[in-house]
Amino acid sequence: MNGYPLYIVAIVFVALCFDFMNGFHDAANSIATIVSTRVLKPQFAVIWAAAFNFIAFLFFGLHVANTIGKGIVDTSVIDPNVVLAALTGAITWDVITWYFGIPSSSSHALIGGLGGAAIAKAGVRALNTNGFAKISVSIIVSPLLGFALAFTLMVLVSLIFFRTTPRKVTVSEGACSWCLHPFTASGHGANDAQKKPWASSLYCYSHQN
């Protein structure tokens, strides 16, 4: 098929569009704290976060990418059409949620798009139930665990700085933000960023052969 390579190029372009959308849809999570506290200006925070997002795989590996690439749907049903449909569906949902200001995960939009495209091609049998079960559990556990840990840390910080002057609190908070922000960005790079097209949908298609 003469147009096949060009079709792949088109899919890569759509994947890049999805990555671009993730930049203003999800990636802001990793810089929200350090920007809102005025420790760094947005433009510098983005560069700082991008560097740690990029190198995260060197330290944490590609475990999340492996799950998305081979643990969500049967890789035998994945072809360029499935990849394109998954990306298009995820982009459409991202645009809708962005326009209406609805907090939503681009990662799960991509997972849903991949699952929907696979079902449309081969039926429900194309889904990996264990993979979807793992993701479903994480959707529930992750925010609850984050809430519990944040609540505990907030109480501890309040107790530690109860009799501290506002100026010292501000200085301490800024220093902690500098130290903790690389971990936040790296965590995002090791988890959320791996679910994006380069490490998931295109990876998944390339590994079916």
* pLDDT interval class at 152 (50, 70, 90): very high
The residues facing 73 across adjacent strands are 127
Tokens of 76: 């035998």
Q: Read off the pTM.
A: 0.74
In the chain, the number of structural domains is 1
Judge whether 108 lies within some domain.
Answer: yes
Q: What is the pLDDT of residue 145?
A: 94
Residue 121 CA to residue 105 CA, distance in Å, equals 25
Q: Which residues contact 208 (CB under 8 A, 6 or more apart)?
A: 75, 76, 78
Give φ, ψ of 2 to 5 degrees.
Answer: -65, -35
**Which uninterrupted H or E stretch holds 109?**
helix 106-122
| SS3 call for 41 | coil
Judge whether 106 lies within some domain.
Answer: yes
Q: Which residues contact 50 (CB under 8 A, 6 or more apart)?
A: 185
Please write the tens of the pLDDT for every residue from 21-54: 777 766 666 677 777 777 778 878 778 777 777 7
Burial of 89-114, coded b for 16+ CB within 10 Å and e otherwise, reads bbbebbeebeeeeeebbbbebbbbbb
CA separation, residue 28 to residues 31, 33, 68, 153, 204 (Å): 5, 9, 22, 22, 26
Residue 100 CA to residue 91 CA, distance in Å, equals 14
Beta strands per DSSP E along 29-82: none
The residues facing 127 across adjacent strands are 73
Judge whether 36 lies within some domain.
Answer: yes
Please write the tens of the pLDDT for every residue from 2-21: 456 788 788 888 888 887 87
Range of the domain at 173: 4-127+163-206
Judge whether 77 lies within some domain.
Answer: yes
Please write the tens of the pLDDT for every residue from 66-121: 777 777 888 888 888 888 898 899 889 988 988 887 877 777 888 888 899 999 99
Judge whether 133 lies within some domain.
Answer: no
Q: What is the pLDDT of residue 134?
A: 84
Q: Report the share of the chain in percent with pLDDT over 90.
A: 10
